[in-house]
Amino acid sequence: MLAGAGLLWMGWTGFNGGDPYTVSTDASLAVLNTHVCTATSLLTWLMLDIIFFGKPSVIGATQGMITGLVCITPAAGVVQGWAAILMGMMSGSIPWYTMMVLHKKIGLLKQVDDTMAVFHTHAVAGSLGGILTGLFAVPKLNRLFYLVDNWQHYIGFFYGLHTGHTTAGFKQLGIQLLGIVFVVLLNIFTTSVICLLISLIIPLRLAEDELQTGDDAI
């Protein structure tokens, strides 16, 4: 698991660092922020495991790493280091809370077979990263990333409030939220179509007695 996690982290470094499609200051910042956020998220997750469960775990470390990587991805090249640290603290704690606490309380989530906790590590952490990007994106870094003349219109909400460009800040935050909604709807639609097509050929779920027996039943 640790070997796979290490390879994933290494690959994600190239994934975020390669987003600007050039060797630049912005690409270097994206790599640095990726490491900072991911390490902070991993440590935050482990600290919460120690505080509430008495010991850390390899699975917890891996989950914290993944949530950090997912969260920082939309923001990697357009936020400062302190923002990456804050994002890491939130990506290591909010998905932890939804997985360890809310998942056991919400009836709908309890009915879903999510062995890999993909909902929490990707949907929750990804949405969190998109929203936080809309809050923390720095105008000058956006100029480096987008390479457009009207870079002032690409501005994090907090910087919009600070510089008086409140409308632009609200607009960017709205774009981030719209992007999240689009991805959610696209995933629901395409996954549902795929599952329906598969169900025409083979059952999507085994009978309960077969599930209890496991692989031997198959």
Q: Give the DSSP per-residue string, 40-82.
A: HHHHHHHHHHHHHHSS--HHHHHHHHHHHHHHHGGGTTTS-HH
Cβ contacts of 186 within 8 Å, gap of 6 or more: none
CB 149 within 8 A of CB 139: no
How confident is the model over 44-56, as a mean pLDDT? Answer: 96
Amino acid letter at 150?
N
pLDDT for 161-194, tens place per residue?
Answer: 888 888 888 988 999 999 999 999 999 999 999 9
| Residue found by looking up tokens 């992007």 in the block | 179
Express as a percent the part of the chain with pLDDT over 90: 63
Q: In the chain, where are the structural domains located?
A: 1-179
pTM here? 0.89
pLDDT for 103-114, tens place per residue?
Answer: 888 888 888 888
Fold of the 1-179 domain: Ammonium transporter fold (1.10.3430)
